[in-house]
Structures are given as C-alpha cells and as structure tokens.
Structure 1
Amino acid sequence: MTHYVNPLHPSVHAENTSNYSTLGSANPISSLSASAFMIPNRRRLPQTPYTPSGKWKSTSGRMQPLRNAVAFDLNGYEKQGFSMQELCVRGEYALEQMMQGATDRVLAHAPHLRKITVHIRWPGYEHTEWARPIEVVTSRGPISRAALAQAIAINFARFCEKAQMERPQSPHWRIGHGGITFEKLVLISLWNPFEDAWQADVAVDF
C-alpha cells in the first residue's frame, strides 16, 4: 500500500521534526539519494545539469552553482518535496498553511536578479528543448517560495503536454498515457547550475 501524506493536515512524528533552512544545498540532485524518501515508490528524475554550449562554455569555465538551492516541502516533512498537482490547484492561502516557509522571499538576497530561466532536461526528451523565463521580482516584491513553486509546476505541466505528443529517445521515463503523467510529479527543489539557468530537482511517484 502506498503511504499517503495528507497535504493539509500531515501527522508530524518526532523523527520528522524539521531542522529547516531557507536555502538547501547547492546541488540537491547529487546530495540526496532516492532512499531518503519516506514514500517507497518515489524515485528521483535523473537530469543532466544544464551547461551552455559552444564557445561560451569553453571560455567561461564557470560550471559551479552560483546560488544555493531553494527547497519546497510540506510542513514537517523535510526533503520530501511537494506535489506539483497540489501546487497547481491550491490557492495562496492554502499553500501558506501547507508549505514550509511558503512566504519566504527566497531570492531576495540577490537584488539584481529580476528573472531566471528554468530549464527542463527530461531523460529521453533532451531533443524537446524547454527553457522558459520566470519573473522573480513582482509588483509585491521578490517572489515568495510558494509563488516560485507554482511557476515551476506550471512549466512542468506545459512541458508534459508538449512531450506526450513526441517520441522519447528512451522509454524508461516516457511521458503520457501508460507512462509518467503530471499528477505523479513531486517538486523537491530548484537549483542553479549556471548563471541565470535554474533546474528543478524532481521526483516521480510510481
């Protein structure tokens, strides 16, 4: 039986008490194994880090993350992620009750940063290029953790709509009917592999 976590009223056990930090590790994809997930059928999506191609890549030499990762968690469940479907259907007030640090202005420490580009590098769909901007300074000030998570989830929803119409180069992480659907996606964090390029650390509930 699949372990279910109630997103609005999770039961917090002592061993799950969070030692939460606003910023996670720089590269969560390499720092957290699949065995760290409480839900046994949850698996991390293997993505290759974005690097610029051509002459710019060879001359710049800047391949390390410039900013720390931004984590997205249910209250009381550190490093377990947040359902992308919940992010798309819940309103602002509900997310503030559900998400750890939902109102934190997570990129406010970089005042010059006005926009980031989210890259999706889904295995088997590398030919389906996806790079979309997200405004991280709004009319209300720097974007909140919850609003950033929603923007990322919307990008993945649209990517899944596009990808399911295409033929993957590998069947293992196929998107669409009989494969992986958007409802199975869990947003773990957002990390910065290069300059203004950011990637979501994502898990799949099989």
Structure 2
Amino acid sequence: MSHYINPLHPSVHAGNISSYSTLGAANQVPLPAAPSAFLIPNRRRLPQTPYTPSGKWKSTSGRMQPLHNPIVFDMKGYSKQGFSMQELYVRGEYALEQMMQGATDQVLAHAPHIRKITVHIRWPGYEYTEWARPIEVVTSRGPITRAALAQIIALNFARFCEKTQMERPQSPHWRIGHGSITFERLVLVSLWNPFEDAWQADVAVDF
C-alpha cells in the first residue's frame, strides 16, 4: 500500500492531523456517513445502516438503557485515522501496546453492569447476512482493554469477509472478494452503541 502509515515512526505534525470527530454526541443514532479528512487520500468510510430491533419489539419496550460514548481506535500519533484490521489480526498484545493509543485502557470499566455486548455487522449490499456476535467484556483479568476489544472486532470482520466473499451482494458498490474489497483493506475507526447492548464498528476502506 503506497500510503501505509507506520505507527512505530514519529508522529505527524499537529497541523497535519485531521480535526474530524468520530461520532460527535453519544446520543446520535445514525452512523456517520460524511467523508472524513483521512490523511490517506484513498480511504473511504463504509456506509452502514444503524441496528435497530424489530418494530414490534421497539414499540413495546423502547430504549431502556442510555447509549455509551463511542470507543475510538487510533495509532499513536495519528488521531482520528483508525487502525488497520490486518495489524489487529496479526499483532500480539505487546506489539499493540506499542502501536495503539490507550491500548491498555479498560474501555467499559465505567459501566460495571455491562458484562456482554453484541457486535452487529451491517455491510451495504449484504444486509441479508445476519451477523450478530456476543463479546464478553469482563474477562478473568478484569474489564476488557481497548486493544483486546479491537482484536475481537477485527476477527469478526475477518470471518465475515470469509463468509461473504463468494456471495453475490444486492449492490455491487461495496462488494467483498478478490478484485474488490478484502479484509486487508479494512480500517477500524471506532465502535459505537446504536441501541441497548448492540454495538457497530465504524469502518473505513483503503481503495
């Protein structure tokens, strides 16, 4: 990749860092769709529809719990640029601690009642593929860290890409597979909370 950012090199000058805010207020439900000032010019945000439960369930119970602030994933020195999922997939715990901003932060420690969340993938053109996977956020070592959570999300996207790469999407614009979008091109920007225990990854693609 010609514009690959090496997180082990010195950080960029402050004037070159994007002022983009990942999601804004925590109670904003729509997933961000506007273009972002990524430092890599061919990086584009993946548009996704936010998860909501079925209309009948929502009408009877509604939102019972407050939404949580998004959890961001940045390489050290590169604010609001996201983190390569390929790096998350292949790197070990120690390496990620050197590469990721706040890697050891216990990102949900402020909400001790949360012990499990469900990650939903709603990839455009593949909405017919139901992907909802639980993540235990309280481990034997305590509340899950930013780096550990990011690795689990990346693993989910790796499995999702494996599952859908031979399928025919309803729309060709964000097609997954060889010659189109592959897992190696994905960037994890943040994880946000559209409803109750449901969470979605804010993802960018390097074209």
CA distance in 2, matches of 1:36, 1:56: 38
1:76 Cα shift?
1.1
Point out 4+ residue stretches in structure 1 off by more than 4 angstroms: 16-19, 27-32
Paired amino acid for 1:156 = F
Unaligned runs of 5+ in 2: none
Q: Which residue of 2 aligns with 1:48?
A: 49
CA gap of 1:153–1:128, structure 2 versus 1, over 3 A, is same
Q: Which residue of 1 aligns with 2:178?
A: 177
**Any residues of structure 2 matched to 1:33-44 within 5 Å, and which?**
33-44=34-45
CA gap of 1:29–1:186, structure 2 versus 1, over 3 A, is farther
Contact 1:80 1:188 in 2 (8 A): yes
Paired amino acid for 1:187 = L
Q: Deviations over 1:46-86 (max 9, x none)?
A: 00000001411122332996111000000111110000000
Q: Deviations over 1:165-198 (max 9, x none)?
A: 2110000000001110000000000000000000
CA distance in 2, matches of 1:69, 1:45: 17
Equivalenced residues, count: 204
Q: Which residue of 2 aligns with 1:113?
A: 114
**Any residues of structure 2 matched to 1:139-150 within 5 Å, and which?**
139-150=140-151
Percent identity reads: 84
TM-align CA RMSD: 2.5
1:135 Cα shift?
0.6
Paired amino acid for 2:177 = G
CA distance in 1, matches of 2:24, 2:145: 16
CA distance in 2, matches of 1:182, 1:75: 22
Q: Which residue of 1 aligns with 2:137?
A: 136
CA gap of 1:29–1:95, structure 2 versus 1, over 3 A, is farther
**Any residues of structure 2 matched to 1:14-163 within 5 Å, and which?**
14-15=14-15, 25-26=25-26, 27=28, 30=31, 33-62=34-63, 66-163=67-164
CA distance in 2, matches of 1:63, 1:43: 34
CA distance in 2, matches of 1:67, 1:126: 24
CA distance in 1, matches of 2:177, 2:89: 18
CA distance in 1, matches of 2:106, 2:141: 11
Unaligned runs of 5+ in 1: none
Contact 2:7 2:75 in 1 (8 A): yes
Higher mean C-alpha displacement, 63-72 vs 152-161: 63-72
Q: Residue 11 in 1 paired to residue 11 in 2? A: yes
CA gap of 1:154–1:102, structure 2 versus 1, over 3 A, is same
Q: Deviations over 1:31-57 (max 9, x none)?
A: 574232111100000000000014111
SS at match of 1:133: strand
